[in-house]
Chains A and B, each alone.
Chain A
Amino acid sequence: MKVMVIGGTGAIGSAVVEQLRLRHEVIVVGARGGQHQADIEDISQVRALFGKVGRVDAVVVAAGALHVGPLAELAPEHFHVGLRGKLMGQVNVALVAREFLNDGGSITLTSGVDTEQPIRGAVAASTANAAVQGFVRAAAIELPHGLRINAVSPTVLRESVHLFGELFTGFEPIAASRAALSYARSVDGAETGRVYRAW
């Protein structure tokens, strides 16, 4: 299969690239690194990206900005960071990918453990992640040509504990290589509308 991994240079993305490369041709897309660059918040950049790459069998997104901060300090613009980035960035990819996927192809998006397991400081993040999962559930029933769409909800990664560990006290971090297995289940599997919990 030909698989595009957007956010392929990040902590999760690079593990997904490594996992999928065992079996597939992988195209790595980053905001700055990778074989191609695109800011997924801008749907015209996503269109330009797919225009260059052409038809693919699977698209994985492990990208999108979120705001982390206490509820007491949140303003609407903090929510919009995640709505524009992690939510609509991924939705933009799904909307465009739909037109470039071969029959039976798949789209795999990324949510996060805080969708279902709230933690302090993550209200805006949980809101955006819950929206991603909702989008996946709904889009799954309307995609044509046997196209599939799933989400992976990773817990905190061992590789990211030094950045986010304080938020996730008591959560067992997992290696990115293990989280990447969930993406492989989505890409190589046959299910649709699922949330794979890499917890």
Chain B
Amino acid sequence: MKVVVIGAAGTVGKAVVEQLGQRHEIVTVGASSGQYQADIADIAQVRAVFEQIGRVDAVVVAAGSLHFAPLDGFTPEQFYVGLNSKLMGQVNVALVAREYLNDGGSITLTSGIVADEPIRNGASATMVNSAVEGFVRAAAIELPRGSRINAVSPTVLEESMGSYGPFFIGFEPVPARRAALAYARSVDGAQTGQVYRAWGASA
């Protein structure tokens, strides 16, 4: 299969490239690295990249930023950071990928454990990740030609504990290579409308 991985230089993305690269031809896309560059918050840039890459069998997105802060003082603009980036960035990819997927192809987006397990400072993260999962559930029933769409909800990664550890006390981190297996289930599997939870113990 020919698989586009967007966010390929990130912690999850690198592990996904390594996992999927064992069986598939990988095209890497990043904000500023990889074979192609795009800011996915801008659908025109997403279109431009797919026009260059052409038809593919699977698209994985592990990209998008979120604002973390206490609810007390959170502003609408801060909610829009995640809505424009992690939510609409991934939706933009899905809308464009729909036209470039071969029959039976798949789209795999990324949510996060806080969609189900809220943490302090995570109001936007829970909102945005829940929206990604809602989009996936709904889009799954309307995609044509056997196209599939799923989300992976990773917990905090071992590799990210330096920056995110204090937000996730008590959560068992998983190594990125284990989270990458969930993306492989989506890409190589046959399900649609699923959320694959790559969580540690006690979640």
Contact = CB atoms under 8 A, between A and B. Distances in A.
Interface of A: 43, 70-72, 74-76, 79-80, 83, 87-88, 91-92, 95, 98, 114-116, 118-123, 125-135, 137-144, 193
A133 B137 contact: no
A134 B126 contact: yes
Interface in B47-63: none
B193 to A, nearest CB: 8
B76 A72 contact: no
Q: Most chain-A Cβ atoms within 10 A of its Cβ — which of B83, B120, B143?
A: B83
A128 B131 contact: yes
A136 B176 CA distance: 29
A166 to B, nearest CB: 15
Given A118-B137, A134-B126, A140 B118 contact: yes
**Mostly helix, strand, loop or mixed at chain B's interface?**
helix
A126 B130 contact: no
Interface residues of B, number: 44
List the 7 shortest-distance A-B pairs measured between CB atoms, nearest first. Answer: A130-B134, A134-B130, A138-B126, A131-B131, A126-B138, A71-B142, A142-B71
B83 A83 contact: yes
B144 to A, nearest CB: 7
Nearest to A131: B131
B122 to A, nearest CB: 6
A88 B138 contact: no
A87 B130 CA distance: 12
B74 A138 contact: no
B27 interface: no
A119 B80 CA distance: 26
B142 A123 contact: yes
Given A134-B126, A137-B126, A75 B76 contact: no
